[in-house]
Amino acid sequence: MAEKVLMKGNEAIAEAAIRAGCRHYFGYPITPQTEVAAYMAKRMPKIGGTFLQAESEISAINMVYGVAGTGKRVMTSSSSPGISLKQEGISYIAGADLPALIVNVQRGGPGLGGIQPSQSDYFQSTKGGGHGDYRMIVLTPESVQEMADMTALAFELAEKYRMPAMLLADGTMGQMMEPVELPEESNDTVEKPWAVTGTEGKREHNIINSLYLKPEELEQKNIERYERYKLIEETEARYESFMMDDAEYCVVAFGIAARVAKNAVVAARKEGVKVGMIRPITVWPFPKAPIAEAADKVRAFISVELSMGQMIEDIRLASECKKPVYLCNRVGGMIPSPEEVYAKIMEVKGGSK
């Protein structure tokens, strides 16, 4: 195989998952993520894997739940409305402490919405989505290369912490073609004594379950889980800091919005405006530390999003409302242009003098 290949983001996810040892994919087609399923349909039969187009998203996520119980790497993918349908299953997976990868190539909503890119599933991904006290590690790629790299990373983190991980992309990331260096072959390295793999009469049987009828026991499970979440918040928050050293204004953006905003930051720097950017790479755990640090130095934050400002709450919490947070956004499938972000930076700069 050539060193670099030209891939769509959706294809990069699928190939990267296969290279990470994933041999079980369950899904249901929906634009703009269908290429993930199409690629799996072509490749899985050739490598002894399972591609199954389920009768619905709900079936697909429950099949993921089943395979996850055996400790094998397993994934599903969908786009916003389909991810809504999967929420019950995601909650069960979290409640049974199982690792699994869920890919959301977001499109405009709410409801059936549209097929153009969006980031309006931020609340759904980072604040629950399904029922109960649970969290999910959420990674946000900004290039086709990161789509590939973060797929492998998501499997690793999911296994390390025994919980579902999500790759939160958008229609642009899924559809755009870029050169990509595919990751090396890898597989899980974590011991899984909990997996349901057959006792061979040598051990007690394992049970995969999220039902606890004794409230004391369920309370204890939740407390244990939150101790794990606390550790993840302390150690796994990922971000990229761009031109922040002397910044007086801080743009916060992830995924496609960060890609657009970076152009605006560079353009504003050329005009002598001291602006930088913090790009959350994980949106849960949210990179609170760099935001808190920036809050003591900058005059204002500008959240650039493809939503009505869903990330603003996290920026305010992390910065303890020390500085104002402005919003630069487009929604419903629209993407802000670098010019729009640039204009917002200039407007905020003018207003906060």
Partner 1 sequence: MDNHALNKRVTLFCGHYGSGKTNIAVNWALHLKRLGHEVAIADIDVVNPYFRTKDSQAELVAAGVEVVALPFANTSVDLPSLPAEVYGLVQRRDKKVVMDIGGDDRGAYALGRYRPYILEENDFANLFVANFYRPLTTTAEDAFEIMREIEAAAGIPFTGIVNNSNIGVETRLCDIVGTFPMAEKLSELSGLPIVMTTAEATLCKKEPQYDFFELELQKKLF
Q: At its nearest, how many Å lie between partner 1 and the CB of residue 2? A: 6
3-state class (DSSP) for residue 60: helix
Q: At its nearest, how many Å lie between partner 1 and the CB of residue 300? A: 25
Q: Which is nearer to partner 1, 109 or 333 (CB)?
A: 333
| Cα 146 from Cα 258, distance rounded (Å) | 13
Q: Which is nearer to partner 1, 21 or 113 (CB)?
A: 113
For residue 156, what are its two tokens?
Answer: 């690793």
- Going 275 to 281 to 282 to 283, the CA torsion angle's sign is positive
Q: At its nearest, how many Å lie between partner 1 and the CB of residue 338? A: 8
Contacts of 295-299 with CB under 8 Å at 24 or more apart are 295/319, 295/320, 295/322, 295/323, 296/322, 297/247, 297/248, 298/247, 298/248, 298/249, 298/250, 298/323, 299/248, 299/249, 299/323, 299/352
Burial class of 110 by CB neighbour count within 10 A (0 to 12, 13 to 18, 19+): exposed
| Cα 141 from Cα 180, distance rounded (Å) | 13
Q: At its nearest, how many Å lie between partner 1 and the CB of residue 149? A: 16
| Cα 157 from Cα 145, distance rounded (Å) | 18
Q: At its nearest, how many Å lie between partner 1 and the CB of residue 9? A: 11
Q: At its nearest, how many Å lie between partner 1 and the CB of residue 284? A: 25
Q: Which is nearer to partner 1, 225 or 259 (CB)?
A: 259
Q: Which amino acid is at 317?
A: L
Q: Which is nearer to partner 1, 260 or 277 (CB)?
A: 260
Cα dist from 264 to 23, 237, 340, whole Å:
41, 25, 8
| Cα 54 from Cα 74, distance rounded (Å) | 14
Q: Which is nearer to partner 1, 35 or 305 (CB)?
A: 35
Q: Which is nearer to partner 1, 159 or 340 (CB)?
A: 340
Residue showing tokens 């916003």: 80
Q: Which is nearer to partner 1, 45 or 179 (CB)?
A: 179
Give contact residues for partner 1 (rule: CB under 8 A).
1-2, 4-8, 11, 15, 31-32, 35, 38-39, 42-43, 114-116, 172, 175-179, 182, 256, 259-260, 263, 333, 338
Q: At its nearest, how many Å lie between partner 1 and the CB of residue 275? A: 19
Q: Phi and psi (nearest 5°) for 230? A: -65, -45
Q: Which is nearer to partner 1, 6 or 223 (CB)?
A: 6
| Cα 288 from Cα 316, distance rounded (Å) | 10
Q: At its nearest, how many Å lie between partner 1 and the CB of residue 296? A: 32
| Cα 123 from Cα 129, distance rounded (Å) | 7
